[in-house]
Amino acid sequence: MLVTAVVLGGCASQPNYPAQSPYSGVSTSRHADHGAMVDALYDYYHQWRGVPYRYGGVDRNGIDCSAFVARTMSELESLNLPRTTSAQAQLGQPISHGDLSPGDLVFFKTGYSSRHVGIYVGAGRFMHASTSQGVTMSRLDNIYWRSHYWQSRRLVTQTY
């Protein structure tokens, strides 16, 4: 377990990649059909499952947690999220752990200054890019994730 904690601690990457446009949107609506979102998240997960973790990575050759979240939300929700975990942790609205819905972001403090992010898919599970397993699915009630849980945020859909 200690090895897992050490290995998972390095995902709060902030590589020097070109900055993307900041997230914008103010609608308070959320998916009326959670089932459709769950299906979309699982379909996306199965396309990326097992892709290795790479600090600063942004594609199927290797991806880190914040890039995986940004890419997922861009492709599924047309949201343009910032590239880093710390910037993503400031988006949307904070929500309680008990109010999670599919598509919400879950954040963890994995070290003194290390942060990790994933996407809640429902039934107590979230998908993320793990340093030890690559893109994977984990349970929020896992002792490691439960003890490192920091916050959850609900992104709001863009309006035009």
Give the active site residues: 65, 116, 128
Q: Strands 105-109, 149-154: parallel, antiparallel or unpaired by DSSP?
A: antiparallel
Full strand arrangement of the beta sheet holding 93-95: 93-95, 149-154, 105-109, 115-122, 125-130, 134-139
**CA 7, chain centre distance (Å):** 17
